[in-house]
């Protein structure tokens, strides 16, 4: 997995992710609330490793893409699933402590987007783990972006995705809305099912779901679409307080 877009809103953002995975892995459990490190987290659960690729709390949204900067050779065995990293994040008291102290030894390469919203102040980070080193950068939270997994999409295909997203932005003015970006995640492409945003590579790897988080000072909503049966699930985190991590 996957392809991820980020759209800034005046007091929040929309983060949307296509989960591109082997159908043999099975459908995820639709988003539910789970208690983890005494925090209430909302996420769809991977039925195999019981982690997730996208997690939201009252303050944070995290989204993971498989692979670092470029496609890597797997070096089995790995000590745990990458989807557990998102949950372990919430055991730390700050983003900085997580970056500094969390061990990624023997974990397969990944890219992690971390979004934070507290009292109207947005911040965004990217952590790339290449298997040997952590590469951390702060992202501009008022600028849209698109990312795609290096394990499934080579440089040409990643550039093409940026082009499709740029064209979409040229045709959609602010304020952005969740419905429009979900349609982009469903329909953008060049007609090649191997490369479309909602992709299908001979049923070996395909887009299994689309998940979108709409976040503002008043709303924290996760929408989940199972692309196999087109069922939709929606859940909200109450905006009551901002004390978790």
Q: What is the pLDDT of residues 198-232, one digit of tens each?
A: 999 999 999 999 999 999 988 999 999 999 999 99
Question: What HEC string does the chain produce?
Answer: CCEEEEEEECCEEEEEEEEEECHHHCCCEEEEEEEECCEEEEEEECCCCCCCCEEECCCEEEEEEECCCCCCCCCCCCCCCCHHHHHHHHHCCCHHHHHHHCCCCCCCCEEEEEEEEECCEEEEEEEEECCCCEEEEEECCCCCEEEECCCCCCHHHHHHHHHHHHHHHHCCCCCCCHHHHHHHHHHCCCCCCCCCCCCEECCCEEEEEEEEEEECCCCEEEEEEECCCCCEEEEECCCCCCCCC
Hey, what CATH class is 3-236 in?
alpha beta
Q: Where do the domains of the chain lie?
A: 3-236
The model's pLDDT over 94-133, given as tens digits with 9 standing for 90+, comes to: 999 999 999 999 999 999 999 999 988 999 999 999 999 9
The model's pLDDT over 31-84, given as tens digits with 9 standing for 90+, comes to: 999 999 999 999 999 988 889 999 999 999 999 999 999 888 888 899 999 999
How much is the pTM? 0.94
* Confidence at residue 73, expressed as pLDDT on a 0 to 100 scale: 82
């Amino acid at each position: 997995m996957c392809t991820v877009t980020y759209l800034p809103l005046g007091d929040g953002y929309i983060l949307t992710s296509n989960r591109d995975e082997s159908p043999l892995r099975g459908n995820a459990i639709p988003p539910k609330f789970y208690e983890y490190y005494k925090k209430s987290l909302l996420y769809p659960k991977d039925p195999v490793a019981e982690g997730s690729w996208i997690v939201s709390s009252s303050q944070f949204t995290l989204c993971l893409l498989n692979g670092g900067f470029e496609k890597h050779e797997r070096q089995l065995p790995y000590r745990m699933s990458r989807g557990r990293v998102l949950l372990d994040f919430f055991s730390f008291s700050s983003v900085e402590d997580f970056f500094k102290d969390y061990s990624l030894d023997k974990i397969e390469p990944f890219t992690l987007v971390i979004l934070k919203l507290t009292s109207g102040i947005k911040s965004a980070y990217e952590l790339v783990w290449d298997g040997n080193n952590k590469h951390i950068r702060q992202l501009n939270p008022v600028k849209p972006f698109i990312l795609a997994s290096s394990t499934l999409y080579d440089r040409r295909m990643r550039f093409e995705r940026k082009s499709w997203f740029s064209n979409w932005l040229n045709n959609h003015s602010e304020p952005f809305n969740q419905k429009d970006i979900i349609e982009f995640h469903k329909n953008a492409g060049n007609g090649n099912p191997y490369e479309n945003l909602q992709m299908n590579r001979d049923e070996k790897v395909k887009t299994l779901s689309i998940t979108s988080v709409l976040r503002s000072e008043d709303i924290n909503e996760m929408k989940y679409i199972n692309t196999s049966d087109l069922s939709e699930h929606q859940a909200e985190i109450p905006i009551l307080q901002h004390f978790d991590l």
